[in-house]
Structure 1
Amino acid sequence: MLQNAIALAKDVPRPPETVLVNVTPQETRVAILENSTVCELHIERNSGRGLVGNIYLGVVKRVLPGMQSAFIDIGLDRAAFLHIVDILEQRQHPTETQRIEHMLFEGQAVMVQVIKDPINSKGARLSTQISLAGRFLVHLPQDEHIGISQRIEDETERAHLRNRLEALLPQESCHGYIIRTSAETATDQELQADIDYLTRLWANIRKRSKIAPPESLLYQDLPLSRRVLRDMFSDNTQRILIDSTENYESMLEFAQMYVHNAINKIERFDGARPLFESYGVEEEIDKALHPRVNLKFGGYLIIDPTEAMTTIDVNTGGFVGTRNFDETIFKTNLEACHAIARELRLRNIGGIVIIDFIDMEQEQHREAVLNELTRVLSLDRTRVTLNGFTSLGLIELTRKRTRESLNHLLSESCPCCNGRGTLKTPQTVCYEIQREIVGEARRYHAKSYKILASQAVIDLLLDEESQSLAMLIDFIGAPITLAVETSYNQEQFDIILM
């Protein structure tokens, strides 16, 4: 049986960070380095910017009472998905049972916000509860609740922040807010500027919603280069390097308006080599597209993403240790904890993750590995839910999925294996060819046959399978010629009847 979810530590000190912003006309890439190690990578392409945070005036296309969900047209190629748990009325009264067919009807115009990007064949996921992110606050214009980030644990500080915000809000205000972690060091002037900015933003969105046609984009979130300052900048950020003069100036202007602490940390990069190459990021991106991750002392991970989940297998590899086998396993698993936490962030792996650590006999070793994994996962900006060891010695966790993984973004299925990850052996293809020739000989009476195939298959037919090929020629009573087709992959072949 799985144990209950384990709370991740919130007081683990974050290491110093360096943020690299690489901008080209086609895309913006952001890498976050912790102690000179690449731990996060964000990519935004101009041809397909992420949709999370965007607000649309959608049209209800279909209501599905059986699934308590609806499909909403927001002007994309695929209809977006809205579940009843993401409808404002249900969120405000979670203990009450409500029916989606009583809330929505086909053809209805509804304001919605994207909370998950389209992934693979799934459309975007929507919510009717609008939230607008600022530097220190998240504005909830349809709510009256004031919430506080769970990362702020001190009750005295929570109460102090709540009182400060309430004192700044106008008496007639009926809007809700969530106080972000960064608000702990914010001045009253900075909080007031956030309130004013978010209030104006919501007023503009409402005004546009009254005149815009259905399926219109009402609000688009900030571009990635500015979201770096709003969402990723913290006191741990030492430097922000940008290799584009235009974006350097726009980020500096944004910082002067909303993120004063970042002004002196934004730098224009003018190195002789490209920014990502200078800091080894390009090499890390290439490594992140491979399933194997080598550990420092000889062990390795195998990361296998599938449609349903991602599995991570830990292996000792060439690590033999210095004391005994149990100690070797324990050290490999401890090292794997750090690599796993980093790879989840770097590859942006979301959904269910199953980790198969090397079996440990001693209970204290298992507890130490679980505690270490809990500690390093707490540095993740994305919400992670961790469970203890199962009876099979596996660890299960879930990581919130809001955008495509690095693998999905940068890769596509191999045209040779169609995504299987393996190819049929030349011997298997040889036997397929021979079976097909026998079938063709039974249907048609060709004078001769010509086989077109890859070099490896033809070589096998001329060598190890030459005897079986001769027997086939005798069986069908017709000659067979062979020809190499250099453009064919190992599984491709054609049989020409002459």
Structure 2
Amino acid sequence: MPVIHKKLLVSRDAYETRVAVLENSSLAEFYYERADQDRTTGNIYKGRVMSIVPGIEAAFVDIGLPRNAFLYVTDVAQVRDEFELLAHAHGSGQDEEEAHDDDERVSLPPVSIQDVLKEGQEILVQMQKEPIGAKGCRVSTNITLPGRYLVLLPVTRHVGISRRIEDEAERARLLELVAGLVPAGMGAIVRTAGAGMARDAFASDIEYLSAEWEKIVAVGEAAGAPALVHQEVGLVQRMVRDALTDEVGEIIVDHPDTHRELCDYLARMIPRLAARVVLYSQHQPLFRRMGIETEISNLRNRKVWLNCGGYVVIDETEALTAIDVNTGRYVGKHNLEETVFHTNMEAAVEIARQLRLRDIGGIIIIDFIDMKSESNQQMLLSRLKEELRRDRARTNVLDMTQLGLVQMTRKRVRKSLYKSMMQPCPYCKKEGSILSLETMVVKVMRRIAELCAESPLERIHMEVHPRVASKINEEYSHQLAELEERYKVEVKVLANPELHFEEIEQPQESGAEAARDGADRS
């Protein structure tokens, strides 16, 4: 693969923390975490088994959330641990980047859920997948504690190596090294970042994570079920822990507190990378300065144009995501097969990029343009698989069907970016989508803050849809008062029932030219 130069951008304000990954100056990944948003994936809970359902070999566990969590029999540590011991006895075992990836169902011994769990039983479980749509969250008793170089498995006796580490000699070295370090009764998975690392790096991870596990056990023993006993770290620390590699040449942070915390963390954990953290202090907002704000806004669009003039259409449904490829304006230079092949190859690159950017998971069906040449079909599949190798999420691409469709899966642990930012459109009987209320509130508040910082105005009045105005004035009055005090400006958010839900209007009398954001009328 070509050399990739990465940058990590971290932008934080009173409403959101946003992280963008740039690869060769192109936006490759985007994540956000709202200040009032509860983190759940990776959390560890003390739960109570509420019901056993033998027909689906699963249990429902009360962990204190509105809906009971779903626990499948193969996600029970006792079952998994016995399987691991059996596998090791026959010289096999799973080697995965993240422990026990549940996108691939392994063949475990036939054990009934009734044999391992009882109603009323209290157990420690970890959130694997957030609630999505009508589905509740999915949990596992196979607890995993991620570190920088390995993932500790405190209740599973298994040692494995990331599949992305392909050198057999290095795999053997790491397996022997880590197997000799993990405490009795525990296991570990060496992460991709662990390739080439010495004993001290793994020993440090194990020491820290083992201490964390002792705290979790102590809290769990003292707490009554249901209860949260351990919360996963925030977005910035997760990204640094999971995504920071030597390819990342610069980490640009626009918030002094986050900059200091990140420098301290790297100084302790990865000293050689600490000098790459830069505090951004220019007047223009970081994401706008780097030219990615518009690109982030475009992630809601179904249609994505290709450089050649073709385009892809991405439709997310409850069951799967369908992606259609079209030649569009591209007419080629020689013949139809060449035109189609060129469009498909460019689409494969963009589709892999969009899956990462939009964090689309589950079943994905891609309808490439039909090609007669089998060699062209194989080159297309190879290109798609090659591009997906950059993806940190687990992907699996199947061969092309007789209908010319490519079926693939991508690990899903949370809502996609589109589903988390959007809501059904009330204007077109929910056939389309508009920005969610929370997304609109953050958009308006960020716009007000930017105007306060950019312009010496006496007053800033914003007119928005009544639902947006109501939420801001009821729940964000403290932040508005802080802006007024800091910039000595009068700030008012006014309801205008004539505005579309996504429109923001700034009347001229507020001291600046009228500004109006066009609405996407679904």
Superposition TM-score tier, normalisation by shorter sequence? 0.7 to 0.9
CA distance in 1, matches of 2:500, 2:363: 38
1:287: how far off? 1.1
**1:121-177, Cα deviation, whole Å (9 max, x unpaired):** 22110001111000011111112221111111111101111232244456xx33211
Q: Post-superposition, which runs of at least 4 consecutive aligned residues in structure 1 deviate over 3 A?
A: 166-170, 485-489
User: What secondary structure sits across from 2:339 in the alignment?
Assistant: helix
User: What secondary structure sits across from 1:53 in the alignment?
Assistant: coil
Structure 2: which amino acid aligns with 1:159?
Answer: A
Match of 1:85 among 63, 74, 78: 74
- TM-score under structure 1 length normalisation: 0.80
**1:86-118, Cα deviation, whole Å (9 max, x unpaired):** 111222225421111222222221100011111
CA distance in 1, matches of 2:355, 2:320: 13
CA distance in 1, matches of 2:26, 2:367: 25
Question: Aligned residue for 2:23?
Answer: 34
Aligned: 1:66 with 2:77: no
Gaps of 5+ in 1: 1-11, 423-484, 490-498
Check the 8 A contact 2:132/2:415 in 1, yes or no. yes
1:48: how far off? 2.1
Gaps of 5+ in 2: 84-106, 434-496, 502-522
Aligned: 1:280 with 2:280: no
**1:435-488, Cα deviation, whole Å (9 max, x unpaired):** xxxxxxxxxxxxxxxxxxxxxxxxxxxxxxxxxxxxxxxxxxxxxxxxxx9799
Query: What is the RMSD computed on CA atoms of the aligned residues?
Result: 1.9
CA distance in 2, matches of 1:82, 1:320: 52
Higher Cα Rg: structure 1 or 2? 1
Aligned: 1:335 with 2:346: yes
Paired-residue identity, %? 40
- Which shows bigger deviation, 393-402 or 320-329? 320-329
Structure 2: which amino acid aligns with 1:41?
Answer: F
Structure 1: which amino acid aligns with 2:409?
Answer: T
Mapping of 1:324-473 within 5 angstroms? 324-421=335-432
Structure 2: which amino acid aligns with 1:117?
Answer: E
Match of 2:244 among 211, 228, 233: 233
Check the 8 A contact 1:50/1:117 in 2, yes or no. no
CA distance in 2, matches of 1:414, 1:268: 40
Match of 2:111 among 83, 98, 103: 98
Go from structure 1 to structure 2 and tell me whether the alpha carbon gap of 1:488 and 1:55 turns closer, same or farther (over 3 Å shift): closer
**1:233-263, Cα deviation, whole Å (9 max, x unpaired):** 0111111111111011111111111122320
Check the 8 A contact 1:229/1:262 in 2, yes or no. no
CA distance in 1, matches of 2:160, 2:500: 61
Structure 1: which amino acid aligns with 2:158?
Answer: H
Question: Aligned residue for 1:135?
Answer: 148
Go from structure 1 to structure 2 and tell me whether the alpha carbon gap of 1:81 and 1:166 turns closer, same or farther (over 3 Å shift): closer
> Could you say which structure has the greater relative contact order, defined with CA pairs below 8 angstroms and 6 or more residues apart?
1
Structure 2: which amino acid aligns with 1:202?
Answer: W
Go from structure 1 to structure 2 and tell me whether the alpha carbon gap of 1:169 and 1:109 turns closer, same or farther (over 3 Å shift): closer
1:292: how far off? 0.4
CA distance in 1, matches of 2:204, 2:31: 28
- TM-score under structure 2 length normalisation: 0.76
Question: Aligned residue for 1:161?
Answer: 174
Check the 8 A contact 1:50/1:403 in 2, yes or no. no
Go from structure 1 to structure 2 and tell me whether the alpha carbon gap of 1:168 and 1:291 turns closer, same or farther (over 3 Å shift): same
Check the 8 A contact 1:39/1:346 in 2, yes or no. yes
Structure 1: which amino acid aligns with 2:423?
Answer: E
Aligned length: 414
CA distance in 1, matches of 2:197, 2:75: 31
Question: Aligned residue for 2:6?
Answer: 17
Check the 8 A contact 2:51/2:60 in 1, yes or no. yes
Structure 1: which amino acid aligns with 2:372?
Answer: E
Check the 8 A contact 1:61/1:72 in 2, yes or no. yes
User: What secondary structure sits across from 2:424 in the alignment?
Assistant: coil
Go from structure 1 to structure 2 and tell me whether the alpha carbon gap of 1:406 and 1:14 turns closer, same or farther (over 3 Å shift): farther
Check the 8 A contact 2:74/2:108 in 1, yes or no. no
